[in-house]
């Protein structure tokens, strides 16, 4: 098993005719992801690499029975795309787009919840269940099927950690990039719960960074609900206060959200924190 996506995933790509949408569609398809369709208003009836393009998500869902959507549309249109997917009955919506206004995400997130769907992102690399399905832009070659669940706020740092896991013999059940914005969909708590309940996941790597207090809440959640080994890395110990470190959500504001506080929160509940990303595999192995 894995979480969120697997061989039953039927994916549509919103913005399939765009440059990024097209490029990553072919990558996902080549990996074996079941890409059943795409949307691009006004281009219905065309096809991209043999994948049918529809004008609306509703039409795409009716025709293809898609249950998952990945969004590559530009930021000003991302809210609309997320809401369109939710309204059409898509159950898992993954928004890759970077730079979406926060209040747009707040509104879309609320609507997606009302419709009983789940959101990942925006500003995220997506997720992958190795050898089953890849939804997003992660470099599939570094992943290997296995039993470690990965949750991360970052892109390349996730790859760094996964690369270390893979080369040290720890494959992954599912790896999820939750996104670097202040407000995103699924986060630590929901994903920790899913990994805890997933029989094929035996350990969890959590990659956090400065900004907000989600890591502190995750630490509390782990201490109360997670029995599987967890190892953590927190990026941004050297980040100066008040400065956004690339990700919109990576900012220490009013002295809150520092790496030191987050590390202390995990250590206080006995969750080991790696000093550098390469230590994560050994921290997990020693506890398995």
Partner 1 sequence: MKIHEYQARELLASYGLPVDKAYICRNVEDAVRAYQELDVPLVVVKAQVHTGGRGKAGGVKLAKDEIELRQHVANILWMDIKGFIVDRVLIGKAVSIASEYYVSYVIDRKSKSTVLMLSREGGMDIEEVARNTPEKIHKIAIDPLVGVPDYLAREAAFKLFDDIKLVRETATIFQKLYKLFVDTDASLAEINPLVLTDEGRIKAIDAKITFDDNALYRHPKIAALFEPTEEEKKEQNAKSKGFSYVHLGGEIGCMVNGAGLAMATMDMIKLYGGEPANFLDIGGSSNPTKVIEAMKLLLSDKNVKVVLINIFGGITRCDDVARGLLEAFSQIKTNIPIVIRLTGTNEKEGRALLEGTKFHLAETMGEAGKKAVELAK
86: Cβ contacts below 8 Å, ≥ 6 apart: 93, 108, 111, 112, 114, 115, 117
Could you say which of 52, 121, 146, 277 contacts partner 1 (CB under 8 A)? 277
Q: With H, G, I as helix, E, B as strand and everything else as coil, classify residue 85.
A: helix
Q: What is the DSSP letter of 231?
A: E
In the bound state with partner 1, the residue whose beta carbon lies nearer, of 64 and 134, is: 134
Burial degree of 225 (CB within 10 A; 0-12, 13-18, 19+): exposed
Contact pattern for partner 1 over residues 236 through 275, marking x by CB under 8 A: xxxxx--xxxxxxxx---xxx--x---------------x
Cβ neighbors of 218 (< 8 A, separation 6 or more) are 188, 189, 192, 206, 208
Closest CB 157 distance from partner 1, rounded Å: 3
Crossing angle of the two packed helices 214-225 and 259-268, in degrees rounded to 10 = 10
Q: Please report whether residue 77 would count as binding partner 1 according to CB under 8 A.
A: no
Residue 225 annotated to the active site:
no
Among the candidate windows 32-40, 87-95, 106-114, 126-134, which touches partner 1 by CB under 8 A? Answer: 106-114
Q: Give all strands of the β-sheet with 92-95 in edge-to-edge order.
A: 47-48, 51-54, 35-39, 11-14, 68-71, 92-95, 118-120
Given the residues 28, 247, 250, 273, the one annotated as active site: 247
Candidate residues 6, 87, 107, 190; the one interacting with partner 1 per rule CB under 8 A: 107
Q: To the nearest whole angstrom, how small is the minimum distance from the Cβ of residue 172 to partner 1?
A: 15
Are 184 and 108 in contact, with CB atoms under 8 Å apart? no
Q: Which residues contact 256 (CB under 8 A, 6 or more apart)?
A: 212, 213
| Cβ distance to partner 1 smaller for residue 58 or 217 | 217
149 or 180: CB nearest partner 1:
180
Q: Is 112 in the site for partner 1 (CB under 8 A)?
A: no
Stretch that binds partner 1, among 32-40, 55-63, 159-167, 221-229 (CB under 8 A): 159-167
Binding stretches for partner 1 (CB under 8 A): 27, 75-76, 99-107, 109-111, 114, 137-139, 141-142, 152-160, 163, 180, 182-183, 207, 209-210, 212-214, 217, 233, 235-240, 243-250, 254-256, 259, 275-278
């Amino acid at each position: 098993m894995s979480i969120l996506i697997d061989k039953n995933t039927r994916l549509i790509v919103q913005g399939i005719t765009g440059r990024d949408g097209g490029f990553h569609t072919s990558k996902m398809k080549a990996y074996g992801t079941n890409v059943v369709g795409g949307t691009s208003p006004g281009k219905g009836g065309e096809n991209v690499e043999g994948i049918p393009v529809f004008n609306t998500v509703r039409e795409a869902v009716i025709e293809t029975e898609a249950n998952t959507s990945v969004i590559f549309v530009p930021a000003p249109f991302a809210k609309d795309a997320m809401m369109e997917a939710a309204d059409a009955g898509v159950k898992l919506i993954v928004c890759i787009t970077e730079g979406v206004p926060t209040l747009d995400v707040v509104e879309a997130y609320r609507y997606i919840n009302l419709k009983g769907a789940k959101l990942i992102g925006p500003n995220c690399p997506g997720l992958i269940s190795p050898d089953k399905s890849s939804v997003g832009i992660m470099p599939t070659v570094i992943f290997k099927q296995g039993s470690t669940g990965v949750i991360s706020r970052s892109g390349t740092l996730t790859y760094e950690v996964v690369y270390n896991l893979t080369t040290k013999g720890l494959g992954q059940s599912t790896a999820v990039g939750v996104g670097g914005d202040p407000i995103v969909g699924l986060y630590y708590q929901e994903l920790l719960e899913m990994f805890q309940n997933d029989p094929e996941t035996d350990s969890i790597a959590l990659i956090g960074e400065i900004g907000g207090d989600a890591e502190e809440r995750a630490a509390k959640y782990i201490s109360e609900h997670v029995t599987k080994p967890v190892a953590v890395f927190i990026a941004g110990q050297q980040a100066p206060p008040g400065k956004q470190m690339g990700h919109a959500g990576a900012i220490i504001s009013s002295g809150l959200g520092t790496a030191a506080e987050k590390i202390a929160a995990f250590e206080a509940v006995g969750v080991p924190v790696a000093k550098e990303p390469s230590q994560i595999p050994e921290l997990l192995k020693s506890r398995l």
